[in-house]
Amino acid sequence: MDLSQRTRSVLSFVNTVDAGSFTAAARKLGVSNATVSKNVAGLEQALGVRLLNRTTRKLSLTKEGAAFLQQARLALDSQDSSADAIGQDKNAISGKLRMLSTVAFGREHLLPALSDLLASHPQLAIDIDFDDRVVDVAEGGYDIVIRGSHIEDASLIARPICHLQMVLVASPAYLAQAGVPQTLAELVSHRLITRRFSAGKVCPWMFRERDDEIHTLDIAHSSLTLSSPELMTEAAVRHMGITQVAVQHAWPYLERGQLKVLLLGKHDPGPCQLVMQYHHRALISPRIKACIDHLSSRFSDIHAQNVAMDVLEQYSG
């Protein structure tokens, strides 16, 4: 397969994945359905692996296809960057950049940080998904991802933004009715509101024992399971039970007396950080690098969102 045909085949593959079908990809590329299908089949033959599973109803990436997709996007992005540089100012930042961010952080910090970036680079376009679920970065084609450090991905570089201090909270009305748990044994008898990620994993609740060892509480039988920490906080405010959230989600309600902190000193706040993840520095385009540098500078003003123990004691149940 010569270079020009390989490029057409890679374009056909990436657009098929993005569009969801050969027909939609063909429409986008301005070629026939048969041409796109033939290009993808030729690419699979050249690589010696199947990239797409084909059924009568839909297409889906194989494991090899997902891995190749990430590299294909980087290769096409690199070609675009090289083409953009010809006849233009070498420092010009242009093109589309795809991002993924948690909902709360995106609203409070990311959007304000992007306003002056877009003003400085009018040819830059940013496409953002706000989602608290665990999302496949390669499959989504994201350039920059902002999420918790507990979501590990060896293919990405992770730059810390801030520490996430976890707390157990419940409303005063719920505690007045159900009692204030003083031990783990008492806690498990309460209505618990837990978080489940899209992959099915439940966010653990950890506690520090007298010997300073960390114990993980079995929360398999929770009363309510949600995917959004904001909704978990709201559920606790509505007297639906006890939940574990980052302190920044609970803080406004703690100050207003709508929530109380529980088992302070026994509950372990955890080592989780909010991080900005992106591909290896050697493989990122100028527009991605410009965005990373800009956001890193803006986010450096965000203090580790922790609250001192003596301050939290004022809001203890």
Average pLDDT over every residue of 64-81: 78
Lowest mean per-residue pLDDT among 52-61, 138-147, 298-307? 298-307
Predicted model pTM: 0.60
pLDDT tens readout for residues 9-55? 888 999 888 888 888 888 888 888 899 999 999 988 888 888 998 87
Question: Which of these CATH numbers, 3.30.360.10, 2.130.10.10, 3.40.190.10, 1.10.10.10, describes 3-85?
Answer: 1.10.10.10
What is the pLDDT at residue 87?
44
Comparing 203 with 267, which gets the higher pLDDT? 267
Give the residue carrying structure tokens 């045909």: 5
What is the pLDDT at residue 303?
53
Task: Please check whether residue 238 is in contact with residue 174, taking contact to mean a CB–CB distance below 8 angstroms.
Answer: no
166-271 fold:
D-Maltodextrin-Binding Protein; domain 2 (3.40.190)
Q: Is the pLDDT of residue 125 over 90?
A: yes
What is the pLDDT at residue 155?
64
Range(s) within the chain of domains with CATH label 3.40.190.10: 95-159+272-299, 166-271
What is the pLDDT at residue 53?
86
What is the pLDDT at residue 90?
45
Comparing 27 with 199, which gets the higher pLDDT? 27
Average pLDDT over every residue of 265-290: 79
Nearest of 6, 8, 15 to residue 59 by alpha carbon? 15
Question: Which of these CATH numbers, 3.30.420.40, 3.40.190.10, 3.40.50.300, 3.40.50.720, describes 95-159+272-299?
Answer: 3.40.190.10
What is the pLDDT at residue 174?
98
